[in-house]
Amino acid sequence: MIALASDHAGFAYKEKTKELLTQLQIPYKDFGAHSSEASDYPDFAHAAAVSVSHGECDRGIFICGTGVGMSIVANKHKGVRAAAVESVAAAELARKHNNANVLCFGERLLQWDAAEKIITAFLNTAFEGGRHERRVNKIHSLTSC
C-alpha cells in the first residue's frame, strides 16, 4: 500500500499519481490534500508518514511545490527515509543505496512525464542491501542528536 500526500501545490500531480497507481494495480491511501485550495503540507505529510512509520503503508509518495517541505516533515518520523528527488537516477539511487521508503518531489519543478518516470523508478527499484544495509541501519540508531 502506498501512502499519498500533497498540499495544494502538489494536488494535481497527486491526482495523476492515483491514476498511475490504479493502472499499475498498486493500492494506495490518499491522506490529502483533497483540493487545490491553499493548505499546509505538514498536516498531510505527518498523517501519511505515520502510516509508513507504523507499517500500515509500505511506502509513500508525497508531493508539494518542491518536495523539500514534505521530505523534512516525513523524516521526523521513526523508520521513514524520505528522499526529495528531481531525477530518475536520484530516485533509483535513493532506493538502491538508502532504502528510501518515501518519495518526495515538487510539482513546480517537474513536468508530469518526468514525474511519472521518477515514480515508476521508485516503485520498481529494490534496495541493494549489502554494504548499504550497515549505513541505513545507522540512520535510526541514535535516540537523540
Catalytic center residues: 64, 97
Q: Which SS3 state, helix, strand or coil, does residue 73 take?
A: helix
CA distance 143 to 1: 28
Contact 63, 10 (CB under 8 A): yes
Q: With helix as H, strand as E and coil as C, how does 15-58 read?
A: HHHHHHHHHCCCCEEECCCCCCCCCCHHHHHHHHHHHHHCCCCC
User: Residue 51 has which C-alpha cell?
Assistant: 502510516
